[in-house]
């Protein structure tokens, strides 16, 4: 008979304790029952009976059976019970494949290659390219795996119809530094407080007074400097033409409003050929095209890849097809693919491959130094111009 004098807490506490013991005991009983059924009716009863198999599976998954016998009586190790196996799965060996080898330009070859016993492929072609050193075959133009011909690792599996891409490195012995060299100057933004522009809080070597820029261009013109076109610069880099010793290229990055407001009028005023490297998604195609003239060239600073993180720009990080599409869109808007300024000056094999695929002829870093014949056209240096100096100091520092 229930004692009605018990409190609610006292009444329910014993029953709660019994439930905590019954749950694990229930599973233990089920496991024992499974073992008995195995002995009486054979292993098929356990493995084919969904109720018994469910209890056994739950126990294995929770790690209650660490070793010995499973509920079906099969001996297992602790690793097997937890889902691991002692035997390492075997890698599928690479097989012979008919592969296309793309070495650049029109150099394409198709042949059958065979894996060797040392973790590589035998008889890979070794192409030659004047002025370049061959660095190996890769499964993709960018971000691919290197396919080894030497026994230095497991062979990358290849299949019929695959294409391998050659990578190249420009040989420095072809660079001709006996000539005067070509300075390519890099400006950015301009301002004029007398016309209502605010004084920049920090010049950061990017801001320059419009009057100072005017003086520098006037000084170059008076000193008899020649301002080559991009066609001439490209031919010069390839060693096809010479340029006058006093030649120079003027560029300004980003395409901010101050470039159109202050720099372009100076180019027209003195007959100085200058270039704006434009972030193309920020401009209106019809508006920007009206500025192009014999003295003004608009070239690519990408369509919308002027950003990034971790010391890399989006041009280096995006998939190749997306980067190429961006560069081609910028060239369509600007009307030219002669030259590109790498965002932040960051460049690697991925960025160069995207430029090559998009038909960019020349691309510029932000490293100092002059351009010489024989240099890699997609890795050309530029000189950053500092503000607040006299025209004479400017000529002596950058144009001598």
Burial label for 119, CB within 10 Å (0-12, 13-18, 19+), is middle
Is 200 found in the same domain as 166? no
Q: Which two tokens stand for residue 128?
A: 């030659």
In a domain, 1, yes or no: no
Is 240 found in the same domain as 379? yes
Could you give the CA distance from residue 320 to residue 378 in angstroms, rounded to a whole number?
A: 16
Of residues 231 and 96, the one with the higher pLDDT is 231
Of 321, 359, 318, the closest CA to residue 340 belongs to 359
- 137-151, 251-265, 352-366: range with lowest mean pLDDT: 137-151
Residue 154, domain CATH: 2.60.40.4270
Could you give the CA distance from residue 363 to residue 365 in angstroms, rounded to a whole number?
A: 7
**Mean pLDDT for all residues in the chain:** 78
Is 139 found in the same domain as 66? no
Is 265 found in the same domain as 124? no
In a domain, 360, yes or no: yes
Question: Would you state the pLDDT for residue 400?
Answer: 59
In a domain, 133, yes or no: yes
Is 191 found in the same domain as 136? no
Are 326 and 317 in contact, with CB atoms under 8 Å apart? no
Question: Would you state the pLDDT for residue 61?
Answer: 37
Any residues with CB less than 8 A from the CB of 230 and at least 6 apart, and which?
A: 275, 297, 299, 336, 338, 339, 361, 362
**pLDDT higher than threshold 80 for residue 281:** yes
In a domain, 89, yes or no: no
Could you give the CA distance from residue 137 to residue 139 in angstroms, rounded to a whole number?
A: 7
For 164-205, what is each residue's pLDDT tens digit? 888 877 666 688 999 999 999 999 999 999 999 998 887 666
Residue 251's domain comprises 184-398
Question: Would you state the pLDDT for residue 209?
Answer: 93
Could you give the CA distance from residue 278 to residue 314 in angstroms, rounded to a whole number?
A: 16
Q: What mean pLDDT is predicted for residues 250-273? A: 96
For 286-311, what is each residue's pLDDT tens digit? 888 899 999 999 999 999 999 998 88
Any residues with CB less than 8 A from the CB of 221 and at least 6 apart, and which?
A: 270, 271, 272
Q: Give the SS3 label for residue 149.
A: coil
In a domain, 24, yes or no: yes
Is 286 found in the same domain as 257? yes
Of residues 320 and 84, the one with the higher pLDDT is 320
In a domain, 160, yes or no: yes
Question: Would you state the pLDDT for residue 41?
Answer: 43
For 33-45, what is each residue's pLDDT tens digit? 545 544 444 444 4
Is 261 found in the same domain as 376? yes
Is 372 found in the same domain as 315? yes
Last residue of a domain, one of 81, 110, 134: 81
Of residues 107 and 256, the one with the higher pLDDT is 256
Could you give the CA distance from residue 255 to residue 189 in angstroms, rounded to a whole number?
A: 8
The torsion angles phi and psi of 384, rounded to 5 degrees, stand at -75, 130
Is 353 found in the same domain as 205? yes
For 8-67, what is each residue's pLDDT tens digit? 444 434 444 444 444 455 544 554 554 554 444 444 444 444 444 444 444 333 333 333
How many CB atoms are closer than 10 A to CB 306? 21
For 339-397, what is each residue's pLDDT tens digit? 999 999 999 889 999 999 999 999 999 988 999 999 999 999 999 887 766 667 777 77
Of 391, 365, 354, 361, the closest CA to residue 377 belongs to 361
**pLDDT higher than threshold 50 for residue 110:** yes
Residue 356, domain CATH: 3.20.20.370
Q: What mean pLDDT is predicted for residues 249-260? A: 96
What are the residues facing 112 on neighbouring strands? Answer: 98
- Percentage above 90 pLDDT, the chain: 44
Is 203 found in the same domain as 156? no
Question: Would you state the pLDDT for residue 149?
Answer: 65
Total domains in the chain come to: 3
Question: Would you state the pLDDT for residue 139?
Answer: 85
Are 346 and 318 in contact, with CB atoms under 8 Å apart? no
Of 46, 48, 23, the closest CA to residue 33 belongs to 46
Is 105 found in the same domain as 77? no
Q: Where are the beta strands (DSSP E) in the chain?
A: 68-69, 75-76, 97-104, 107-115, 121-122, 132-138, 146-147, 163-170, 184-187, 189-191, 207-209, 249-254, 274-278, 296-300, 308-309, 312-313, 339-341, 362-364, 383-384
Last residue of a domain, one of 144, 174, 204: 174
pLDDT tier for residue 93 given thresholds of 50, 70 and 90: low
């Amino acid at each position: 008979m229930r004692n009605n004098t018990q409190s609610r807490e006292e009444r329910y506490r014993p029953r709660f304790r019994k439930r905590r013991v019954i749950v694990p005991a229930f599973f233990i009983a089920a496991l024992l029952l499974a073992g008995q059924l195995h002995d009486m009716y054979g292993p098929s009863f356990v493995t084919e009976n969904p109720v018994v198999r469910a209890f056994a599976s739950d126990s294995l998954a929770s790690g209650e059976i660490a070793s010995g016998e499973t509920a079906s009586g099969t001996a297992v190790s602790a690793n097997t019970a937890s889902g691991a196996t002692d035997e390492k799965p075997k890698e599928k060996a690479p097989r012979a494949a008919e592969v296309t080898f793309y070495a650049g330009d029109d150099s394409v070859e198709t042949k059958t290659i065979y894996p060797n016993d040392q973790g590589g492929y035998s008889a890979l072609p070794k192409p030659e390219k004047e002025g370049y050193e061959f660095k190996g075959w890769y499964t993709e133009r960018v971000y691919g795996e290197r396919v080894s011909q030497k026994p230095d690792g497991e062979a990358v599996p290849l299949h019929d119809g695959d294409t391998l891409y050659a990578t190249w490195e420009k040989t420095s012995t072809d660079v001709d530094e006996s000539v005067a060299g070509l300075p390519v100057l890099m400006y950015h933004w301009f301002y004029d407080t007398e016309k209502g522009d605010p004084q920049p809080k920090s010049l950061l070597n990017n801001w320059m007074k419009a009057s100072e820029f005017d003086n520098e261009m006037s000084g170059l013109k008076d000193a008899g400097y020649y301002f080559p076109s991009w066609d001439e610069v490209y031919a010069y880099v390839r060693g096809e033409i010479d340029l006058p010793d006093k030649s120079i290229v003027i560029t300004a990055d980003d395409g901010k409003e101050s470039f159109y407001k202050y720099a372009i009028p100076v180019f027209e005023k003195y007959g100085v050929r200058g270039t704006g490297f434009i972030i193309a998604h920020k401009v209106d195609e019809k508006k920007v095209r009206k500025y192009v003239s014999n003295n003004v060239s608009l070239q690519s600073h990408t369509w919308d890849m002027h950003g990034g993180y971790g010391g890399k720009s989006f041009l280096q990080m995006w998939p190749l097809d997306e980067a190429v599409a961006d560069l081609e869109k910028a060239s369509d808007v600007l009307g030219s693919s002669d030259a590109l300024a790498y965002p932040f000056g960051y460049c690697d094999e991925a960025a160069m491959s995207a430029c090559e695929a998009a038909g960019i002829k020349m691309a510029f870093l932000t490293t100092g130094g002059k351009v010489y014949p024989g240099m890699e056209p997609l890795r050309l240096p530029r000189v950053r111009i500092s503000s607040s100096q006299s025209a004479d100091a400017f000529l002596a520092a950058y144009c001598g």
